[in-house]
Amino acid sequence: MKDYLSTTYGRMLALVTATGILFLLLALISFFFLEDYHNLFLIIFTVSFVAILATYVFTFKSLVHRPLNLITEVLEKNDEVAITELQKFSNEFSHIGDLFLSNNKQKAELKKAKEKAEEGEILKSSFLTNLSHEIRTPMNAILGFSDILSTQKLSETEKKEYITVITRSGKNLVSIIDDLIEMSKIDTNQVKPNHSAFNLDEILNDIKQTVEITIPKDKPLQIFLDQPRYPVVYQLISDETKFIQVIVNLVNNAVKYTESGKVNFGYNINPDDNALEFYIKDTGIGMSEEDSRNIFNRFNRIQNDKTINLSGLGLGLAISKAYIEMLGGRIWLESKENIGTTFTFTIPLKLNGLPITPKKEAELNPVDKVKPLTILIAEDNNINFMLIKRVMSIRKYTVIRANNGEEAVNICKENDNIQLVIMDLKMPKMGGFEARKIIKGFKPYLPIIAHTAYSSAEINSEVYDAGFIDCISKPLDKTKLFRVIDRIEHLTPDPILSQLVLN
């Protein structure tokens, strides 16, 4: 500001000086060359004085007074138009306008942050109130009916009824505690996906049957598991536990908020995104646009006259969203009030290339009916190789050994009779993961089983992500190994379906 004013006054002084010099020149001319110079001198002096004064007033008003008035308007009224005009001035006044604008933006951001914090506090307060209600409701039943059972003489029918109520209330209480603990784990990044291979259609059927049992017989509601146009015929690789919880949460939600009608759920293959797209559609109460935007936020529940008697903490959808994103997918919804809601989510389509098996595992193929196989065993440890070779001799399989991953790659290139590879993951020269990647490049349909001393879920996840057909842990379980081999024997390579198998 000081610099600006000094600059402004400098301009004014220059104007006054120029005017003064002009005045002197005119006065000298009139004194030396004009006879009636006294009157002319007076006229020139008067005109010059007026010009100097006008110049001074105009300069002060335009360069100082106007921007100072604009600053006053901003300070008193926070006038945005005044800020814009102030920015048009040069030097310090323009900088002051920028500061005012920046200050207004900061105020707006602080206001939004304050409103969000207040909204968060309201949600937390509402959540704690709801939590207290949700905990006290089952506890009231547990303590109340326990007291009656211990102090009153009851019939066997009454005892069974009260015990059933206590058991159900206990399960509800455990479910509430589980949700709280799970949300806490998600917040602290303690939850990681544990991948395994499972039968997708079998799990969806089990969920349908489980949820159907919970629907009161007098509630006019039906659940349908739609059959996909192209079913998944291989085992799906994902986190089975988290996947089941997501489906159960969404289907239970649909049942809870649907008084009558139907709930449909199922899946379709999305080949463009190499994903499975699941949907859960109901004919329930639906929700408003505002509820749709906030429904995945924790502690949020639909609050209206239709939901006042429904229980829940508002954590189920937040947990489901976190799980889906953890598995590499996304979730969204479409809803209309009094018409219904459709939740849709995706997970990556990763298949292990083995045909799905029924829930009850089939008996192992008898020795006299097994197909002859040539199996490459990639194992650097002599004792481990001796053991697995002895196990393979039970079925009279032809066994070829590779002492490391490099040898395994070369043998697979040179020997077209290899029908299966059992690959140790930790070997000298080249490990199992690298060897698997190279072999896939020239024999993409050759099934390879990982054989590892690691048994953690994280290693299993890496194994499936690397494209192994299955994983057998050490110490060797020959029954499990033979079951995997029996399924591989029935596997027919399909170039189209194989594109959906793990890369």
| 344-366 confidence digits (pLDDT tens) | 999 999 887 666 655 545 467 67
**% of the chain residues with pLDDT over 90:** 25
- The residues, any chain, with a CB within 8 Å of residue 291's CB and separated by 6 or more, are 300, 302, 335
147-160 per-position pLDDT tens digit: 888 888 888 888 88
| Higher-scoring residue by pLDDT: 151, 122 | 151
Would you say residue 368 has pLDDT above 80? Answer: no
**Residue 176 — pLDDT band, cuts 50, 70, 90?**
confident
Q: What is the pLDDT of residue 33?
A: 56
| Pair type for strands 275-282 and 340-348 | antiparallel
Other beta carbons less than 10 A from residue 263's beta carbon: 26
**Structural domains of the chain, ranges and CATH numbers in brackets:** 2-89 (no CATH), 100-187 (1.10.287.130), 196-349 (3.30.565.10), 361-498 (3.40.50.2300)
Q: Using alpha carbons, select from 114, 132, 133, 111 the residue that is nearest to residue 122.
A: 114
In this prediction, residue 467 carries a pLDDT of 84
Residue-level pLDDT at 495: 40
Residue 268 in this model has a pLDDT that exceeds 90: yes
Residue 452 identity (one-letter amino acid)? T
CB atoms near residue 139 (< 10 Å): 14
Give per-residue pLDDT as tens, 237-266. 888 888 988 998 899 889 988 989 999 999
Decide: 186 and 201 in contact? Cβ < 8 Å.
Answer: no
Residue linked to tokens 């809870």: 256
Tens of pLDDT, residues 14-28: 665 666 566 656 655
β partners of residue 448:
421
For residue 403, how far is the Cα from the chain centroid?
A: 43
Partnered with residue 193 across adjacent β-strands are none
Residue ranges with strand state E in 390-473: 398-402, 420-424, 448-452, 470-473
Q: Are 332 and 296 in contact (CB under 8 A)?
A: no
Across the beta sheet with 275-282, the strand order is 221-225, 261-270, 275-282, 340-348, 331-336
For the ranges 269-278, 306-315, 358-367, 450-459, the one whose mean pLDDT is highest:
269-278
